[in-house]
């Protein structure tokens, strides 16, 4: 046993626990479990006893790479591994020393790239014109395919004001995009009104489903209703989602009590949770015609709200097909300080549809056009904004709602 580092067997134990747990959960027999584990143990053993460069071996990196590889091997773009160092990165970010680009991303296992779920409104990525579905294949001339997923994510973070170059694949085109990192300060709820053909339009732009949103939505709604709006538009375009309970609370503001918002189906096909609307507090206000704006950057919690309002007949959907992120992830802490996030369930719409990798088709399809994003971004930290009636999606929604108002 000479030459074995003191921590060697602890690393082996961590790796084996991860493998054993996943295999046992899959229902494999004891013999199968041993067969799966043996090659991993043998590889670690040979590295420790026979590898020439043993003095330079970083066991933390080996184990992180092994776990990351196992999770990627699932072929599930929404399951991923956070190494222990990621917790330190998050702490630094919380202290405001690190900036970012303002994009929600996932791992694309097929292309071995980082896939953009959505650029957040007003952020550097949004201003640079990045789009949902873009594949980030290079970061500062380093190939993403040679990085662990979280390594790539961390490389996109950095000191505010520092420059980064992304190599992006969009369809058949390869783009080089230079961005300047910023401290991302998202104001999740913005609202405004406008008058169109003699009717008052209320507009709410929701950019993220985080903790402050329900309270901010309530404030915005009260203000809009007090201004006696004739119709309401909820803009969920490029909203990557967020917290499930926030999506439920937001849906409650628009649905009558007793309406199904979303159900959760486990891997055995069983419905484990069903969320039903408790109703809203706006019985004294008229229920005005409503539209929800979506595009392929509307994901996760955005899709829960969009489907709930569409399928319960509360609103029409206008825009483009949504992203199709209908899966539920849970984090499982590991003994090495890392965390494995695995898909454990799928969301179902009120009618029972599984929209994962399918998305939600709008009632009215409208193609978006290029916008002057840098000019619009000036307002991204404001809570009150104007309503751009020249936006083809907003315009289409207003024209459709006018038909209902006129009845």
Q: Report CA dihedral (325, 328, 237, 317) to the nearest 10 degrees.
A: 80
For the record, the structure tokens of 118 come out as 């959505």
Q: Tell me the C-alpha distance between 202 and 197, whole Å.
A: 14
Q: Which of 160, 164, 159 is nearest to 114 (CA)?
A: 164
d(CA 184, CA 167) in angstroms, rounded, equals 22
Backbone angles phi, psi at 298, to 5 degrees: -85, 115
Report the SS3 class of residue 39: helix
For 270-305, b where at least 16 C-beta lie within 10 A, e where not — what string?
A: eeeeebbbbebeeeeeeebbbbbbbbbbbbbbbbbb
> How many C-beta neighbours within 10 Å does residue 403 have?
9
3-state SS class at 113: strand
Catalytic positions, written as ranges:
300, 311, 325
Query: Nearest to residue 381, comparing CAs of 179, 188, 125, 101?
Result: 188
């Amino acid at each position: 046993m000479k030459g074995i580092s003191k921590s060697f067997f602890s690393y082996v134990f961590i790796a084996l626990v991860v493998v054993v747990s996943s295999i046992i959960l899959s229902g494999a027999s004891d013999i199968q479990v041993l067969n799966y584990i043996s090659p991993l143990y043998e590889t670690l053993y040979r590295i420790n006893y026979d590898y020439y460069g043993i003095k330079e071996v970083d066991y933390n990196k080996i184990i992180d790479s092994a776990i990351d590889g196992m999770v990627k091997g699932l072929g599930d773009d929404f399951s991923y591994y956070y190494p222990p160092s990621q917790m330190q990165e998050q702490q630094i970010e919380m202290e405001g020393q690190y900036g970012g680009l303002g994009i929600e991303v996932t791992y694309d296992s097929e292309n071995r790239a980082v896939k953009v779920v959505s650029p957040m409104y007003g952020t550097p990525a949004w201003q640079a014109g990045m789009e949902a579905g873009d594949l980030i294949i290079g970061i500062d001339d380093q190939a993403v395919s040679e990085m662990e997923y979280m390594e790539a994510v961390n490389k996109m973070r950095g000191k505010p004001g520092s420059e980064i170059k992304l190599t992006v694949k969009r369809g058949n085109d390869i783009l080089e995009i230079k961005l300047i990192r910023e401290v991302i300060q998202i104001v999740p709820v913005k609202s405004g009104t406008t008058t169109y053909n003699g009717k008052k339009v209320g507009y709410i732009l929701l950019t993220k489903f985080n903790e402050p949103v329900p309270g901010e939505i309530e404030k915005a709604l009260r203000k809009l209703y007090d201004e006696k709006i004739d119709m309401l538009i909820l803009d969920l375009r490029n909203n990557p989602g967020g917290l499930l309970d926030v999506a439920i609370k937001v849906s409650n503001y628009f649905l009558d009590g007793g309406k199904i918002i979303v159900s959760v189906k486990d891997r055995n096909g069983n419905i484990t949770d069903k969320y039903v609307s408790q109703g809203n507090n706006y019985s004294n206000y008229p229920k005005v015609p409503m539209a929800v704006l979506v595009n392929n950057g509307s994901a996760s919690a955005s899709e829960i709200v969009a489907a709930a309002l569409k399928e319960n007949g509360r609103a029409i959907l206008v825009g483009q097909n949504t992203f199709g992120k209908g899966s539920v992830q849970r984090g499982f802490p590991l003994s090495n300080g890392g965390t494995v996030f695995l898909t454990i369930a799928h969301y179902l719409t009120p009618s029972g549809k599984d929209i994962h990798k399918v998305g939600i088709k709008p009632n009215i399809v409208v193609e978006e056009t290029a916008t002057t994003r840098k000019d619009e971004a000036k307002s991204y930290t404001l809570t009150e904004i104007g309503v751009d009636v020249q936006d083809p999606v907003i315009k289409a929604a207003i024209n459709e709602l006018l038909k209902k108002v006129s009845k």
